[in-house]
Structure 1
Amino acid sequence: MTQTRAIIFETPGGPEVLKLVTREVGAPGPGELRIRHHACGLNYIDIYQRSGVYPMPLPQVPGMEGAGVVEAVGEGVTHLAVGDRVAYAAAPPGAYCDVRVMHAAQVCRLPDSIDFRTAAAMMLQGLTVQYLFHRTVPLKSGDTVLFHAAAGGVGLIACQWARAMGIRLIGTAGTDEKCALARAHGAAETINYEREDFVSRVRDLTEGRGVDVVMDSIGAATFDRSLDCLRPVGMMISFGNASGKVPPFDLSILGAKGSLQLTRPTLFTHIARHEDCQAMAAQLFGMVETGKVAIRIGQEFALADVAEAHRRMEARATTGSTILLP
């Protein structure tokens, strides 16, 4: 048996419920592998799970993203071998640890040109941008997108991806500094939602037409007004709820506001099939290797300091990606 340090929580709650323990890790079973992490990613979904917004079986090791080296493979695993450098974003949780056994299907071989820290910072967020731009509603050059939280980890990748595709991305953020960061990464325009009404500003920027697509991970605080930013038959993509879940609403509102479209996707639906996950990761790796997308790591924390990492993320005191170092 192999020993690992892991972060667990035994009851939903604040960052204080996270604690460091030592446990044993066995050999991988059929379709599984054992990975030794060099870095792990921290994402807002971890906070949803820890706080109870997304109920989880308990006790639970959080974390959906990591990068490291394969130590062992189980029967039937053919796309990876012992010693391979790998990275993943995958369910179920369990990444906040030194070593874990997990399903192999969503684990991807990492190109030599991408280091472990970068990989751990980009898999969940980069694959999210991939499905938003290419699978949820295929975007094309000349389209206009309103992207909330444009200075976050997903947002900074989206700004760059949009620039590479010739998409006009209008980003929102809560400070002038975050707005400047989004513009530096490719946002065509930015809106400080603490000082400006983003609906009026979007209408000004689009000469009254509205945007083709809104991509909103904020949730309750921005949902209703985001609908007012869309052109007729535009698409609202609600892919997160950092400010709380969107409450139930009357679907006829979509018709009244211009036959709007609405979807609530998740990454884990899009990567559920092995072939889809590997193809999506290959496109993400290509964007990073060619320099079209640079991954900005805004914060690094030791695994044992994960509670502080959660506090800062919940306080919106982070920019770019956040990683944990075992």
Structure 2
Amino acid sequence: MRAIVYDTGGDASVLQLVDRPVPEPGPGEVLVRLAVAGVNPTDWKSRRQGPAVGDWQIPGQDGAGVVEAVGAGVDAALTGERVWVWEAAWQRQWGTAAEYTVVPARQAVPLGDASFELGAALGIPFLTAHRCLTAGEFVPDALHAGALADHVVLVQGGAGAVGNAAIQLARWADATVVATVSSPEKARLAAAAGADHVVNYREQDVVAEVRAVAPEGVHTIVEVSAARNAEADVALLRPGGAVCVYADDGGDEVRVPIRRSMVPNARWQFVLVYTEPSAAKARAVSDVSAAVAQGAVRVGEAAGLPLHLHPLTATADAHRAVESGAVGKVLVTTGE
């Protein structure tokens, strides 16, 4: 099979296209013939550090394709199932930037009739967004239609992949969603994703605009840049609200206003999808699958998430695109 491999850390030039034997699924595993792989910021960050397991690594956590074979202890009926894959390369060498990958069976989730492009875009962004929307004290542990019917959610950075996922999942759960963006084009994308209100933080006063929508404050803030937004976040939380921080855009340290966070019993929740509690992750996988089955989540320009497709041979370009901040979702087509 064709696969992208790196055996040392560095920039995208360390990625090599090689031929490797198709791996055999072990006990509890499935072999997936991949059609599309997703590219996420953690892919290039991990690549720069070098292989974490063994002396080589196929990058890529997310993907979608068809189950080709199953290992011992796995129901043979899964063979031929269209699936989406999550965390393929987490503490494993077999990522999704290849024609085949092997993963534990629970990490290959039925996709139904949804597109492989959607399936490859689900993993890291949607599981992260789910955690952000369910980690607060006064929000439900699970999402479904109506789960957030009386909630207001603020998505800081509504045009990014996680921001887009948070908007779509929150709207599916019937929340009122406010998104912040930095340009008119990104405002258009956030609105296409389903945001009820969009604020251009370069031109508008975020606190004033959000308070006009939610005079009592917001329940949850999905935060991409806590270093920049901490003051505004605290000013916008309602009592018991949560700021859920999933990235360090704008700085890797945040100064939290202590007394002003104490008064409303605010929660600052930090989110890394790979290490979140296993029960929460299992709920996220189940809920995201339900949203897909109900047609509640989409990808593409009309969903506020433009797709940027690269062939497997141009995986290095795909990494460079994500590293340089491409707006939308970068995907690698892994089949012929």
Question: What is the CA-CA distance between 1:66 and the residue it aligns to?
Answer: 1.0
Paired residue for 2:272, among 266, 277, 282?
266
Name the SS for the 1:105 alignment partner. helix
1:262 partner letter: W
Which residue does the alignment assign to 1:220? 227
Which residue does the alignment assign to 1:190? 198
Name the SS for the 2:243 alignment partner. strand
Q: For the Cα contact (< 8 Å) 2:8–2:51, is it kept in 1? A: no
Query: Structure 1 residues 91, 229: closer, same or farther in 2, change over 3 A?
Result: farther
Whole-Å separation in 2 of the counterparts to 1:196 and 1:50: 38
Equivalent runs, 1:61-72 vs 2, <5 Å: 61-72=58-69
1:126 partner letter: F
1:41 has 2:38 as partner: yes
Whole-Å separation in 2 of the counterparts to 1:302 and 1:190: 34
Query: Structure 1 residues 309, 40: closer, same or farther in 2, change over 3 A?
Result: same
Equivalent runs, 1:153-164 vs 2, <5 Å: 153-164=161-172
Q: For the Cα contact (< 8 Å) 1:218–1:243, is it kept in 2? A: yes
Which residue does the alignment assign to 1:73? 70
Which residue does the alignment assign to 1:234? 241
2:128 partner letter: T
Query: Structure 1 residues 243, 324: closer, same or farther in 2, change over 3 A?
Result: farther
Which residue does the alignment assign to 2:294? 290
Whole-Å separation in 2 of the counterparts to 1:254 and 1:127: 30
Whole-Å separation in 2 of the counterparts to 1:259 and 1:104: 40
Paired residue for 1:56, among 52, 57, 61?
52
Query: Structure 1 residues 233, 281: closer, same or farther in 2, change over 3 A?
Result: closer
Q: For the Cα contact (< 8 Å) 1:70–1:85, is it kept in 2? A: yes
Q: For the Cα contact (< 8 Å) 1:223–1:246, is it kept in 2? A: no
RMSD of aligned Cα (Å): 2.9
Question: What is the CA-CA distance between 1:134 and the residue it aligns to?
Answer: 4.2
Which residue does the alignment assign to 2:143? none
Worse-matched range after superposition: 303-312 or 132-141: 132-141
Question: What is the CA-CA distance between 1:250 and the residue it aligns to?
Answer: 6.5
Query: Structure 1 residues 172, 48: closer, same or farther in 2, change over 3 A?
Result: farther
Paired residue for 2:151, among 143, 149, 164?
143
Whole-Å separation in 2 of the counterparts to 1:80 and 1:150: 40
1:86 has 2:83 as partner: yes
Which residue does the alignment assign to 1:302? 311
Deviations 1:181-215 (A, max 9, x none): 211221111122233343443334433x3322111
Question: What is the CA-CA distance between 1:147 and the residue it aligns to?
Answer: 0.5
Equivalences, count = 316
Equivalent runs, 1:206-217 vs 2, <5 Å: 206-207=214-215, 209-217=216-224
1:284 partner letter: V
Which residue does the alignment assign to 2:144? none
Q: For the Cα contact (< 8 Å) 1:89–1:107, is it kept in 2? A: yes
Name the SS for the 1:24 alignment partner. coil
TM score, norm. by length of structure 2: 0.81
Whole-Å separation in 1 of the counterparts to 2:175 and 2:148: 7
Deviations 1:141-196 (A, max 9, x none): 12111112212223223223323332111111221111122112211111222333
Q: For the Cα contact (< 8 Å) 1:216–1:223, is it kept in 2? A: no
Question: What is the CA-CA distance between 1:293 and the residue it aligns to?
Answer: 2.3
Query: Structure 1 residues 203, 55: closer, same or farther in 2, change over 3 A?
Result: farther
Query: Structure 1 residues 5, 77: closer, same or farther in 2, change over 3 A?
Result: same
Paired residue for 1:311, among 320, 326, 331?
320
Name the SS for the 1:131 alignment partner. helix
Whole-Å separation in 2 of the counterparts to 1:232 and 1:195: 28
2:52 partner letter: M
Query: Structure 1 residues 15, 292: closer, same or farther in 2, change over 3 A?
Result: same
Deviations 1:59-98 (A, max 9, x none): 3222111111222211112385322222111253411111
Which residue does the alignment assign to 2:160? 152
Q: For the Cα contact (< 8 Å) 1:152–1:318, is it kept in 2? A: yes
Name the SS for the 1:126 alignment partner. helix
Deviations 1:255-307 (A, max 9, x none): 4563211111333345846x963x64443233233333222252111122222
Query: Structure 1 residues 128, 307: closer, same or farther in 2, change over 3 A?
Result: same
Worse-matched range after superposition: 235-244 or 197-206: 197-206
Gaps of 5+ in 2: 141-146, 301-305
